[in-house]
Amino acid sequence: MKKLINRPDRVVSDMLAGMALSYPDRLRHLEGTGVIVRRDAPVTGKVGLVSGGGSGHEPAHAGFVGTGMLDAAVAGEVFTSPTPDQILEAIKAVDSGQGVLCIVKNYTGDVLNFEMAAEMAAAEGIDVDHVVVNDDVAVEDSTHTTGRRGIAGTVFVHKVAGARAQAGGTLHEVKQAAQTVIQNVRSMGVALTPCTLPEAGKPGFTLGENEIEIGIGIHGEPGVERTKVRTAADVTTVLADKVLSDLPFQPGDRVAVMVNGMGATPLMELNVVGKELHAILKEKRIEVVDTWIGEFMTSLDMAGCSITLLKMTDDTEKWLSAPADTVAVRRY
């Protein structure tokens, strides 16, 4: 295993310590908790937003902590849900009395632990609610999930709910904004290579020399099909067809688009996929109002990408384009 780390069991705490040292004017690391909060948390008069999950998906989720997005991110060990105690620390650190919304990706451990933390927070008098993101259209159930998995579309939920909270929305309004995104967002991914967990030291699964896996999960959970290497145009068509037909997206719809790198895929290739996706959407007379290309929800050193489409409503479009100032997403 070749990784720029010190010890496998220290990689998450080293990473979080590094982030706190690199962005001292933006972020605080609540040491020993895996929690990164906005420097100025709790923000008076604002609903707090908490997300998180297993590590290995960077910049998710600490990269989205800041003005107009999250107030706190909770980092579990690599590909491992954070504990209820960790999540409770985050909730407490961002509650200013206006309540806290947790944005949870649909994995069994995450949902259970966020729900338990919410109960603990409620017992301490905090008004807390949560939403569950399940944007991955590839499979209905998986090794880690009952129901669909939450993947890169979660970042659009962070952005929209974050802007709604920043604009003074109540807990109910912020949850509504998040739910609207969840209803209208769909994603699907492809892997070219597996990823290697630091503790394991070897890939979690294997792919042949010329083999790719369509519909892969962000922890390397099985997808829907293994196939030979195909062109970017072909791969994008396969992903887009499944995503488009699911909601379904219709001619005349306005959408935001994300092409998300899984960790080891060059930006060059993501832009080639972006070109193909734009061509497909144009042909279907679906209008793209916003495009996000880059790494948002990764899977360690996996090569591959996911595509995400989010259907606009007037409110969603307003909040998606609102200012944000985080390490990984900045908007004027």
Give me the least distance between CB of 82 and its own copies, in Å please. Answer: 16
Select from 125-133, 136-144, 171-179, 267-275 the region that touches its own copies (CB under 8 A): 267-275
**Helices marked H in 108-153 — which ranges?**
108-123
Active site residue 61: no
Contacts (CB under 8 A) with its own copies, residues 57-96:
58-59, 63
Q: Report CA-CA distances (Å) from 260 to 34, 264, 298.
A: 25, 11, 8
Query: 252: how many CB neighbours lie within 10 A of its CB?
Result: 9
Among 51, 55, 80, 308, binds its own copies (CB under 8 A): 55
Measured CA to CA, the distance from residue 11 to residue 13 in angstroms comes to 6
Measured CA to CA, the distance from residue 212 to residue 328 in angstroms comes to 28
310's enclosing H/E stretch is strand 304-311
Among 202, 210, 251, 283, binds its own copies (CB under 8 A): 210
Residue 11 binds its own copies (CB under 8 A): yes
Select from 99-107, 158-166, 170-178, 302-310 the region that touches its own copies (CB under 8 A): 302-310
Active site residue 144: no
Select from 148-156, 176-184, 228-236, 306-314 the region that touches its own copies (CB under 8 A): 228-236
Catalytic annotation, pick one of 29, 57, 144, 158: 57
Measured CA to CA, the distance from residue 205 to residue 295 in angstroms comes to 22
How deeply is 250 buried, as exposed, middle or buried, from its count of CB atoms within 10 A (0-12, 13-18, 19+)? exposed
Query: 285: how many CB neighbours lie within 10 A of its CB?
Result: 10
Catalytic amino acids?
57, 219
What are the residues binding its own copies (CB under 8 A)?
1-7, 11, 14-19, 21-23, 55-56, 58-59, 63, 190, 192-193, 210, 212, 229, 231-233, 235, 257, 263-276, 278, 291, 293, 295, 298, 300-301, 303-305, 325, 327, 330-332
